[in-house]
């Protein structure tokens, strides 16, 4: 699976499955978004080779889907500008459900990279892993992400009030879900 996008900056982005040589680029992107301090309920950057590699080994062991956005005119690790992972849940009775996480680097937001990453990740997780349903969660003040998820057909299941506490402020968590059969019907 490979999709090529021409984005507003006139650069070319390739969307494809993750490979081992992407590990540093992926964690660089993650740590940069973490530093923004706004979107992720995590404080500690991922720096060690053990942490980075064990994340990748786990994806391969669990046969999880991780789609990356690679910009063709940058060299590793600066070439990875987005990633969308659909992880398995811990429950044996929920193997048909995947949990979605996504980040796109700040410079490349609002150009359709996120929508394309999610679209491919949903389709691939259905095709390769028999996922039927995707769940996710999001800070209630993350307006861009909520707009995108709702536009793609995710529905709000509920809100966990004051679920996160960061820099002396409480944040609500919005929980959403999407049924892939319905998504594919609406987006053939
Ligand atoms: C959320 C995120 C993954 C979306 O990726 P992206 O590449 O920017 O997404 P797209 O360009 O496909 O779509 C963004 C949409 O949000 C809209 N948008 C931008 N700012 C917005 C705002 N403040 N309020 C509402 N909508 C907004 C854009 O107009 C676009 O919608 P449109 O296609 O209807 O015009 C990305 O912005 C990101 O990584 N943000 C930081 C990390 C994060 O929030 N991750 C998700 C955690 S739950």
Q: b/e string for 71-87 if b means 16 or more Cβ within 10 A? A: beeeeeeebbbbbbbbb
Does ligand 1 have an atom closer than 6 angstroms to the CB of 81?
no
Does ligand 1 have an atom closer than 6 angstroms to the CB of 15?
no
What residue segments make up the domains of the chain, in order of their start? 2-186
CB atoms within 10 A of CB 4: 10
Is the preceding omega at residue 42 within 30 degrees of 0, hence cis? no
Residue 11: the pLDDT is 97
Residues 153/182, Cβ–Cβ less than 8 Å: yes
Query: What is the CA(145)–ligand 1 centre distance, in A?
Result: 5
Integer Cα distance of 51 and 179 in angstroms? 32
User: Quick check: pTM over 0.95?
Assistant: yes
Tell me if residue 92 falls in helix, strand or coil.
helix
Choose which residue among 144, 152, 159 to substitute to test ligand 1 binding: the one with the highest number of ligand atoms within 8 A of its C-beta. 144
CATH architecture for segment(s) 2-186:
3-Layer(aba) Sandwich (3.40)
Chain centroid to CA 21: how far?
18
pLDDT band, very low/low/confident/very high, at 108 (cuts 50, 70, 90): very high
Residues 6+ apart with CB under 8 A from 99: 86, 87, 88, 89, 134, 135, 136
* Average of per-residue pLDDT across 65-90: 97
- Give the CA dihedral 23, 118, 96, 22, nearest 10 degrees: -10
Nearest CA to ligand 1 atom 27: 144
Residue 182: the pLDDT is 98
Q: Provide the percentage of residues in the chain whose pLDDT is more than 90.
A: 100
- pLDDT, averaged across the chain: 97
Does ligand 1 have an atom closer than 6 angstroms to the CB of 142?
yes
Nearest CA to ligand 1 atom 22: 144
Query: What is the CA(81)–ligand 1 centre distance, in A?
Result: 14
Residue 152: the pLDDT is 98
């Amino acid at each position: 699976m490979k999709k090529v996008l021409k984005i507003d900056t006139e650069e070319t982005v390739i969307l494809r499955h993750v490979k081992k040589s992407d590990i540093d680029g992926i964690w660089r992107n993650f740590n940069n978004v973490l530093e923004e301090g706004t979107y992720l309920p995590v404080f500690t950057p991922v720096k060690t080779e053990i942490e980075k590699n064990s994340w990748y080994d786990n994806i391969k062991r669990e046969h999880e889907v991780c789609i990356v956005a690679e910009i063709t005119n940058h060299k590793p690790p600066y070439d990875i500008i987005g990633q969308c992972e659909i992880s398995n849940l811990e429950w044996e009775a929920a193997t048909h459900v995947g949990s979605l996480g996504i980040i796109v680097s700040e410079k490349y937001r609002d150009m359709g990279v996120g929508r394309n990453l999610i679209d491919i990740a949903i389709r691939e997780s259905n095709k390769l892993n028999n996922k039927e349903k995707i769940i996710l969660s999001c800070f209630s003040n993350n307006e861009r992400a909520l707009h995108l998820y709702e536009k793609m057909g995710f529905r709000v299941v509920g809100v966990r009030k004051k679920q996160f506490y960061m820099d002396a402020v409480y944040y609500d968590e919005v929980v959403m879900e999407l049924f892939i059969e319905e998504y594919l019907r609406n987006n053939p």
